[in-house]
Amino acid sequence: MTNFRVMDYIWDNTKSVIIELKNFRPSLATQLEILTVTVGETLTIDLVFDDTENDKVSFEFQSLSSSLSSTSQVSEVDVNHYLVTWVPSEEDKGDHLITLVYFDQFHQIIQTSTDFSISVTKVTKPRFKTALNNQTVFAGQLAQFDLAEIVNESGAEIALSIRVEDINSTTVDASDWITLASRTLKTFPK
C-alpha cells in the first residue's frame, strides 16, 4: 500500500489517501516432478508461467550438484513460455534436487520457488564377463556360449547378433538355422 498526501490550495486542507496497488505473484503452470535423462542426451523442460497482469516472468535454476544452471540453453517460445535444454555431462551423473526460482518485475524481492528432481543416468554397453573366443565348428557340431555371462548394467533390452563365416571368411546368413530362446534378450542380472 502506498500513502499519498493530497492538498487543496484554495482551502489549505491536507488529506491522506491510501491507494492500494495489487500485483499478484506469478505461478508455474508446468508440473515438474522427477525428470530422468541419460548422460550426453538432451533434456528439454517446457516451462509455462501464469501471471495475472501478464508481466514478464524471469527465472533461474539453483542447484549445488549439477551444471543445469550454468550450461542450460533457454529459448522463449511465447510470453512466459520457455524451453530449457540441457545436455548433462559425466560429472552430472546422479540425482539432483533443483530449485526453480521465478518472479516478475514487481516481485524480485518476494520470489516464488518450486523444487523438483533430475536423475542423470549413464548407459553402459552390455558386455560378457569373460571374452568370447571364436569357435570353429564343423557340420553337425554345436557352437555354444552362455548368455548368463552377459552383464547389462543399464537395465535396457539388448539384442544379440551372431555373425557366421565359412572357411573362406565369407559371411553366411545363419538366421534360419540358429536357434535362440529369444532373439531379443531381456536384462540379465549383474
Residue 140 has pLDDT above 80, yes or no: no
Cβ neighbour number for residue 51 with a 10 Å cutoff: 21
Angle 22-27-31 from CA coordinates, rounded to 5°:
170
Using an 8 Å Cβ cutoff, are 160 and 77 in contact?
no
pLDDT above 60: residue 125:
yes
Instruction: Enter the C-alpha cell of residue 21.
Output: 496497488
3-state secondary structure of 80: coil
Mode of pairing for the β-strands spanning 13-19 and 81-86: unpaired
Q: Name which residue leads in pLDDT, 172 or 97.
A: 97
Q: Is the pLDDT of residue 15 over 60?
A: yes
Give pLDDT, residue 178.
56
What was the pLDDT predicted at 183? 41
Query: What is the per-residue pLDDT for 1?
Result: 47
* Residue 149: pLDDT band with limits 50, 70, 90: low
Share of the chain above pLDDT 70, in %: 58
Average pLDDT over residues 133-157: 67
Residue with cell 538432451: 42
| Mean pLDDT value of segment 64-76 | 82
- The cell for 15 is 488529506
57, 104 Cβ separation under 8 angstroms = yes
Given this model, what pLDDT does residue 90 score? 87
pLDDT, position 176: 58
Q: How far apart are CA 75 and CA 82, in angstroms?
A: 6
